[in-house]
Amino acid sequence: MGFLLLSLVLSSFLITAASILNSPPPLPCNYTAIYNFGDSNSDTGGIAAAFYPPLLPFGETFFHRPAGRASDGRLIIDFIAEKLGLPYLSPYLDSIASNFRRGANFATGGATIQRPNSSWFVDGLSPFNLEIQVEHFNQLKGRSAYYYNQSGKDNDEIVKRLSNPEDLGRALFILDIGQNDIAAAAATLTRPAAVAGIVDQFIHQIGILYGLGATTFWIHSTGPFGCLPAVISKSKNADDEDEYGCVRSLNRIAMEFNRELKSRIGELRTRLPRAAVVYVDMYAAKYGLISDAAAQGFEDGRVICCGYHGMSYDIWCGKNGALENGTNVYADSCKNPRRVISWDGVHYTEAANRWFADRIADGSLSDPPVALATACHMHATPITN
């Protein structure tokens, strides 16, 4: 009797395993649009449209002109759009030749999750924090619905540049924000409470997007803040640096934020039954390249392509300034950005952004481990295309 039961169990297991192995891979989601929320890591021109645009050498590698991006070329969000067969995202704040048919980018350089308590003119913080970015999406959705409902001869040209609000359930929502909040949390004495408060606001805004019709979320963790060359240049304690020069104490804050975010996302899935919420470990991707730079064809992660940073000075890309010894210099770009990880000490080169995008797209750094192209299939309640 025991042998018969064991045989039945084994047979059932083999049948189940065979069905899993022989089951076809999930079909691509065929996203109708991408809506992106974030800071300068994914800003395709929002803060440039709102304030002052960057000048050359920004954009020199791919666009051959400044294109509103804090890089020499494309960002991770650009490569994601390419992989999904969608156009580069128009910034919501840019009124010139913008097209929102296949999505919109609400990210702005200097943006935070929490409301800023300073200004762009004082310390570079964007007035368009995550809360405002989500409100901008709400406004775009409302105005799009109005023009679709009024569609006719007079509105045809407008509607052509707007995404159908009824397709929101098939759009991809990407959030890549938190680095500027981490920088602020590093200076506070109540760091654990500060990190928890930041994540609370992050989760709250995801819930608002869900209520507005978003169902597929691709959420990036924050990167190794302590590995940014501009940050390393201000380090006063060599014992606080790891073997790659990264500041351990600052990276620990980033990891605290990521652990809290991942935990809260796990809880969020139970509250949003129709949502696919994917956590993407951008920290692992970025630290992975920095720690293996030579083997991947890059120079040391502390090398900066455009700009100079030291203990008492910062000469940003495209600017003039004086070094610590008083020498006046112009911060021009390096000869070969394709071999450098850091563009300006804070942001990454196009080459590094491509490397990151390639590493996250297959889902190997995601929780759950699902590829970008098929992330919509993680819904608790399936969504049909």
pLDDT band at 9 (very low <50, low <70, confident <90, very high): very low
Is residue 120 within 8 Å of residue 185, measured between CB atoms? no
- Check pLDDT > 60 for residue 308: yes
Please pick, among 40, 71, 144, 233, the residue that the annotation labels catalytic.
40
For the 30-297+349-378 domain, the top CATH level (class) is alpha beta
Confidence of residue 11 (pLDDT cuts 50, 70, 90): low
φ and ψ at residue 100, rounded to 5 degrees: -110, 20
* 368 preceded by a cis bond (ω within 30 of 0): yes
Type of residue numbered 103: G
Helices 248-271 & 191-211 angle (0-180, nearest 10) = 40
121: left (phi over 0), alpha (psi -120 to 50) or beta: alpha
Three-state DSSP state, 138:
helix
pLDDT in tens, 189-239: 567 788 999 999 999 999 999 999 999 999 999 999 999 999 999 998 999
pLDDT, one tens digit per residue, over 318-350 is 999 999 999 999 999 999 999 999 999 999 999
Model confidence, pTM: 0.91
Please report which confidence band the pLDDT of residue 14 belongs to, taking 50, 70 and 90 as the band edges.
low
DSSP 70: S
| SS3 sequence of 181-239 | HHHHHCCCCCHHHHHHHHHHHHHHHHHHHHHCCCCEEEEECCCCHHHCHHHHCCCCCHH
Q: Does pLDDT of 76 surpass 60?
A: yes
Mean pLDDT of 350-355: 98
Q: What is the mean pLDDT of the chain?
A: 91
Instruction: Using DSSP bridges, classify how beta strands 320-322 and 328-330 pair: parallel, antiparallel or unpaired.
Output: antiparallel
pLDDT score of 153: 60
Q: For residue 347, indicate whether it is catalytic.
A: yes
Q: Is the dihedral of CA 150, 156, 159, 165 positive or negative?
A: positive
Q: For residue 304, which phi and psi values (nearest 5 degrees)?
A: -110, 135
**315, pLDDT greater than 50:** yes
Catalytic residue among 309, 344, 366, 377, which?
A: 344
Domain boundaries, the chain: 30-297+349-378
Confidence of residue 187 (pLDDT cuts 50, 70, 90): confident
pLDDT of residue 12: 54
Give me the percent of the chain exceeding a pLDDT of 70. Answer: 90
| 15 pLDDT more than 60 | no
Instruction: State the amino acid at position 85 in one-letter form.
Output: G
- Between CA 39 and CA 128 the distance in angstroms is 9
Q: Count CB atoms within 10 A of the CB of residue 158.
A: 15
Q: Which whole number is the average pLDDT over 232-261?
A: 95
Report the alpha-carbon angle 81-85-91, nearest 5. 35
**Band of residue 156 on the pLDDT scale cut at 50, 70, 90:** confident
* Distance (Å, whole) CA 219 – CA 197: 18
Catalytic position from the list 136, 220, 309, 347: 347
Report how far residue 138's alpha carbon sits from residue 168's, in angstroms, rounded to the nearest whole number. Answer: 12
pLDDT digits (tens, 9 = 90+) for 104-137: 999 999 999 999 988 899 989 999 999 999 999 9
Residue 17 pLDDT level (bands cut at 50, 70, 90): very low
Residue 69 has pLDDT above 60, yes or no: yes
Task: List, in order, residues 6 or more apart from 309 with CB less than 8 Å away.
Answer: 229, 230, 233, 234, 315, 345
Residue 378's pLDDT band (cuts 50, 70, 90): confident
